[in-house]
């Protein structure tokens, strides 16, 4: 297939399967251009729905969707729809990339899927019981529906596999690590990898002499310390519950609280549900997990909203401080995710006490930039603060293109471009 610029191109289908949903995106490589994306929701429920968008084109299908196989068949129908479709034949799809949450300690990078990879993802179901099963379902049906197309797994945990033992070990009896694989794994790796590479590219820096702290602040939130292009520590741990205060997740806690509440009649199932779904900004404020709601409540003088926002910012600052201590020198601080990218006030709240670390925000520029990509620090700031919109789907497509088609030499040659990976 040849693109408009006469360059050979491949269309990559990126799939992200949840328990009752399937998100997809079709990306033209090496042009890094999305042709359109869609979402299938309420798989297995009485009434399912597919919504596909490509510029002005919109397609909505409402019908019962019994399982992921039917969902993918519906995606194929939508992609090739005569009026609102994105491609004329499904044979145009040259590769498929699957977002997979947990690759355990086995995968430090993306891999082409074969029977061994499927068996490994299956093995890691016990570490990610909510996420790996639907990810696997997506892989299985994609192999069934498009058997000839190469498929690649891109793991949320892979980027963090470079963490040294002193960062990934918990202070527990060794047998918990040896027998149950309890250690820090970290998540959001694809996003941290994408935004850190993009930040380097934007500021024309090379990973070998740049240390970064990357803050992915969305509904889920994590922060990663990156040296020489490699994750050396990250705030999410054995599960995505550890670390920052999030939309509905508690983040760090004294583990004794769990036992204390069990003694008071809560079951562990109830507590895990509370810690994942009813805590964080929502739990603290009692109002909402949405930053915009809390910002406007705080402006109207709501004390609980103010406290929730301050606790959120304080926790992020605490991690930045801890990571700055371990990185020794920090060159860049990156903000991404729904809150990191759009929430300029939250960025301000986080940075206004970090000048002692050389993190000097240009508050006017930070407000002006809003959600746009760019630098928001003072020219004299030792640490460059940047806002980068994340694009995990694109990173997945880049990985598929690299693994299945050998990548693109032109992109690789351009020394300021590190998106294809951190070659040294
Ligand atoms: P997820 O982790 O579910 O992908 P997102 O990255 O979309 O979440 O982030 C969701 C968060 O982003 C919400 O708390 C929302 O309030 C916040 N957000 C989105 N848009 C804005 C905005 N314009 N201003 C402030 N916060 C925003």
Mean pLDDT of 77-85: 94
Q: Which of 5, 81, 105, 156 is catalytic?
A: 156
In this prediction, residue 2 carries a pLDDT of: 73
Instruction: Please report, rounded to a whole number, the percentage of residues in the chain having pLDDT higher than 70.
Output: 96
Active site residue 399: no
Residue 272 has pLDDT above 80, yes or no: yes
Mean pLDDT of 119-132: 93
Mean of the per-residue pLDDT values of the chain: 94
Residue 111 has pLDDT above 80, yes or no: yes
Question: Residue with the nearest Cα to atom 3 of ligand 1?
Answer: 219
Instruction: Please report, rounded to a whole number, the percentage of residues in the chain having pLDDT higher than 90.
Output: 92
Pairing state between β 374-375 and 384-387:
antiparallel
Mean pLDDT of 315-342: 97
In this prediction, residue 4 carries a pLDDT of: 66
Residues composing the chain: 424
Measured CA to CA, the distance from residue 137 to residue 152 in angstroms comes to 14
Instruction: With cut-offs at 50, 70 and 90, classify the pLDDT of residue 410.
Output: low
Instruction: With cut-offs at 50, 70 and 90, classify the pLDDT of residue 93.
Output: very high
Verify whether ligand 1 is closer than 6 Å to residue 343 (CB atom): yes
Residue 416 has pLDDT above 70, yes or no: no
In this prediction, residue 419 carries a pLDDT of: 45
Beta carbons within 8 Å of 352's beta carbon, 6+ residues apart:
361, 363
In this prediction, residue 7 carries a pLDDT of: 74
In this prediction, residue 360 carries a pLDDT of: 98
> Higher pLDDT residue, 337 or 1?
337
Which of 338, 345, 347 has the most ligand 1 atoms within 8 A of CB, as the residue to mutate? 338
**Biggest alpha carbon–alpha carbon distance for the chain:** 68
Verify whether ligand 1 is closer than 6 Å to residue 337 (CB atom): yes
Verify whether ligand 1 is closer than 6 Å to residue 18 (CB atom): no
Mean pLDDT of 341-360: 96
Instruction: Kindly give the number of the ligand 1 atom that is closest to the alpha carbon of 371.
Output: 23
In this prediction, residue 328 carries a pLDDT of: 86
Ligand 1 centroid–CA 304 distance in Å is 20
In this prediction, residue 1 carries a pLDDT of: 77
Instruction: With cut-offs at 50, 70 and 90, classify the pLDDT of residue 424.
Output: very low
Ligand 1 centroid–CA 338 distance in Å is 3
In this prediction, residue 8 carries a pLDDT of: 84
Ligand 1 centroid–CA 294 distance in Å is 12
Question: Residue with the nearest Cα to atom 12 of ligand 1?
Answer: 338
Mean pLDDT of 269-289: 97
Instruction: Kindly give the number of the ligand 1 atom that is closest to the alpha carbon of 337.
Output: 6
């Amino acid at each position: 297939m040849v693109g408009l610029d006469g360059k050979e191109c491949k269309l990559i289908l990126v799939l992200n399967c949840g328990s009752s949903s399937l998100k997809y995106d079709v990306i033209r490589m090496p042009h890094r251009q999305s042709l359109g994306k869609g979402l299938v929701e309420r798989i297995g429920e009485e009434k399912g729905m597919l919504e596909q968008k490509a510029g002005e084109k919109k397609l909505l299908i409402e019908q019962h969707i019994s399982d992921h196989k039917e969902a993918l068949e519906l995606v194929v129908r939508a992609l090739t729809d005569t009026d609102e479709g994105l491609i004329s034949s499904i044979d145009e799809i040259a590769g498929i990339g699957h977002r997979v949450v947990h690759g355990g300690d086995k995968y430090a990078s993306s891999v082409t899927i074969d029977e061994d990879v499927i068996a490994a993802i299956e093995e890691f179901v016990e570490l990610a019981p909510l996420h790996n099963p639907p990810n696997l379902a997506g892989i299985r049906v994609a192999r069934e529906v498009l058997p000839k197309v190469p498929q690649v797994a891109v793991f949320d945990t892979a980027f963090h596999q470079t963490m040294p033992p002193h960062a990934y070990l918990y202070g527990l009896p060794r047998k918990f690590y040896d027998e149950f694989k309890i250690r820090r794994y970290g998540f959001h790796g694809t996003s941290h990898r994408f935004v850190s590479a993009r930040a380097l590219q934007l500021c024309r820096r090379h990973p070998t002499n740049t240390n970064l702290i990357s803050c992915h602040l969305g509904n889920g939130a994590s922060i990663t310390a990156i040296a020489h292009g490699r994750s050396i520590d990250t705030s999410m741990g054995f599960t995505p519950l550890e670390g920052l205060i999030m939309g509905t997740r508690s983040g760090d806690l004294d583990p004794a609280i769990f036992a204390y509440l069990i003694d008071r009649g809560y079951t562990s199932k109830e507590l895990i549900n509370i810690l994942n779904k009813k805590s964080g900004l929502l739990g603290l404020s009692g109002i909402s997990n949405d930053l915009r709601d809390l910002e406007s409540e705080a402006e109207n003088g709501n004390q609980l909203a103010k406290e929730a926002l301050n606790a959120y910012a304080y926790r992020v600052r605490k991690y930045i401080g801890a990571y700055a201590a371990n990185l020794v020198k920090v060159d860049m601080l990156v903000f991404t995710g729904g809150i990191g990218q759009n929430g300029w006030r939250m960025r301000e709240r986080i940075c206004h006490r970090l000048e002692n670390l050389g993190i000097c925000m240009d508050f006017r520029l930070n407000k002006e930039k809003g959600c746009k990509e760019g630098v928001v620090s003072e020219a004299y700031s030792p640490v460059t603060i940047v806002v980068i919109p994340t694009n995990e789907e694109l990173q997945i497509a880049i990985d598929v293109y690299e693994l299945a088609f050998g990548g693109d030499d032109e992109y690789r040659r351009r020394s300021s471009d590190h998106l294809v990976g951190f070659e040294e």
